[in-house]
Structure 1
Amino acid sequence: MARVPTKHGRDQALDWELSLKDKDKKMRPQASDKVSSSGKTRVTGEDRKRGSGPYDYARSYDAINSISSSFSSDDSLPDAASEKELGNEYFKQKKFKEAIDCYSRSIALSPTAVAFANRAMAYLKIKSYQEAENDCTEALNLDDRYIKAYSRRATARKELGKLKECLEDAEFAMRLEPHNQEIKKQYSEAKSLYEKNILQKASVALENTVQKFQKVGKSDAKVNGQGTHPVSVQEIQEGRTSDAKVNGHPIQPVSIATQSTEIAAAQDRSKQRNHVTRKQELQTSVQEIASRAASRAKIEAAKNITPPKSAYQFEVSWRGISGDPALQASLLKAVPPSELPQIFKNALTVPILVDIVKCVATFFGEEMDLAVSFLENLTKVSRFDVLMMCLTSTYRADLAKLWDEVFCNEAAPVEYVEILDKLRSKYCLK
């Protein structure tokens, strides 16, 4: 409890305050004596000896106050937001290099997705497309749903000739804002360029293949597998037809007109058969080439799988190998299950979620500990409960079937039965 001051203590405090006021009154006349008629303070010799006096004190106070204000003033210190705004002003004036410098200082002070995306736009204006792509990637690492970063990176990648990646960025941007007309236009252009490029490559490859088989056909031209010997009319007239053969059979000495007609007809039939055979061989060869190319592409894709760092990267990789569940399983195995909440944040969609569960059920049956880890960490992704509420009847039926046939069947390890049963309820499959 606070101590209540006594009357004696109050009297002492009052006396002390009065004595201070008296001393102050006595000192004022002395200070006024040192002020000259011109209003300036006059310093006495005694003041100089002591190194004190009103003048010295005022000068010291001003210096201290100036230094203090120089450190405490917010205007004199660089600020990330003000640097960004200054960069925006330079950008409006089309001073793009100055804008880049301002954005760079803003990023150095406080890196944000907006600052990176703004600097990327300035880089696009001066045609530094690689730097623009890099800045957009940094922006998306900070905010993987920032639509301007996707759009600007699509522009940079188009100029760099990365048409597939350009289309992926434009497609994801349109998925985020499906009613944005500018994004729709960019997506249509990116898709048109990509498809045109694919057609050109396919046309060149097919043309080269046809030319190759045409050369082979000319060098190995045969009639029913045997070389043909052109028989002239003069040979037939001179009776030198004993060795003349068509399809391996000697030509009988008949009239010249009949023999010529038969030879011409045989040669026509031979040409037709050769044409059909070459066409079939060409089709078979093209199919084999396409099959081998697809196999090589899958092998290379499996080698180049890298763990995604964001929902966007995961979805692009996942859809890129959607035709090969084995490659999708490889992609999943490249992702530590505990990192799923950080990767997806609040960007996980129902179709991707169901696809992941299906892949886990198909390929992770022999690794139940890994399968359970994936199922558990998916429930920790932000907005998981909302996703479960949005499940369609088809998706819900698919998940229930997987739980019944794979996760909770008789072959499931006993130690995981209880965990999987709890997970079933979290996936709203009761």
Structure 2
Amino acid sequence: MTSEYERKLIDMQYQMRENNSYLTDYLKDLNSWTDDIKKKEENLKTTANSTSTIKELPPVRNFVVPPRPKKKSKKNNSSTKTSSIRSFDYRAWDKFNVDEACAQIDNEQQEKEDDNNNEEDDGDADEEDEEWQEEVLKKKGEYYKDCGNYHFKQKQYTEAIESYTKAIECNPICPIYFANRAQCQLFEQRYGACEADCTLAIQLDENYLKAYYRRALARVEMEKFDQAREDLQYILAREPSNADAKTKLAEVNKKDEIKRLGRIYPLQDKPIDKRSTKPLKRIEIQEIDTSIISISETTKKKAIIIEEMDTDPKSSESIIPSISSVLPSPSTIITATTPLSVQSKKPTTIEKPPTKSIPIPTAIPTTGFQFKRDWLNLNNQIEQQAIYLKRIPPKSYKTIFSTGIDSSVFSRILLLWSNETTIDEHLLNSMYEIRLTPRFNTQLSFLGSDDKKLLETILQKLENKCSSTDKVQTILRDYKID
């Protein structure tokens, strides 16, 4: 084993521990789970006559432990006890074999020595016990996987995640358990956890195409289009006839183009032979000076008079006063002219409608649900989100993000931090408290290239301005990206 392989193995184990600690927060208490199973059993008993219900019964709850292998006894059974001879039975003493008695005594002493020196034999027994324990854990993992499959078919994704987690604890080197749990995370809209599970499954089996596809689905939802495209292209390189991957790749390319170029309106779906063959013309939009028109009169219904005018540029100046003298009022007449010299020479500008200002919630969130609701209502407005984030005390981050901070929210917070011109106490406390939330190290390891640049910018500001305090040194150490 090389040092590089050991490092990768340690990193994988560390990620598995982080992932398990994150998922244990979602697991229910054992007593409530038992009550739910009892209720399900009562419902199944009422419908026991239907054959379809019998087929969908969950696996047997009581796991049957395989029998432990019997240890081989190495005692010598050839030794027999000597019958006691009475002292006055001289005939028996004549038949007594002294050599055989001495050999029997030697054998008994040898057996005692063997019993006292059973360390070598215990080593073989320990190996058998380890093999037996590994077999028990593998069978337990398969049992919990069957339970998870049953809950998944019933669309009980939280219970399925719980079962797959127990299967992973029994056999943490099986990629199927991670991939199955990732599918449940995908249905529960936990895209960051889904991506982490798929990554672990791929580390265990590089040819597991289902894990690549599910990770691509999670990355599309998190708008990581470049990484999702890489996963889909890898699938198509291995399976060129995969229709799902082809469809998803086309969807990813379309969404990426919309994100980069803005809204794209598709052309009318007409056959090629029915489309127009005329060349397209560019229409220039030019502004007309309407400063003389009063605002109050423009709201009324206006009559539009279109006058034909001479296109000769020499006579254009003499035409303008004649038109103004003929028209009764400048507020009720709009003239349409063709030459550019008559019209205003102001640059063409398109005024965007003002964005509707969304009120910032005044109540400070106490749970993750309240924070997510308010955060989504702000509709990605940077100024409102920055003000809303500053209203939250940093000490409450650990309670709000008790199940871990979402990757999209974390990326947005990094953007808000990078936009700060000055480093105040609230920013330092926020960075210090967020590092204590669950799965923080996992979030750092899965940051995109843009987010890493933002984080490096923030850390550079901290290091240049106030790197002498212990709190800043702790932040620089924990936020460091390898």
State the TM bucket, normalised to the shorter chain: 0.3 to 0.5
Task: Please report the TM-score for the alignment, with normalisation by the length of structure 1.
Answer: 0.35
The structure in which a higher percent of residues are helix is: 1
Task: Please report the TM-score for the alignment, with normalisation by the length of structure 2.
Answer: 0.32
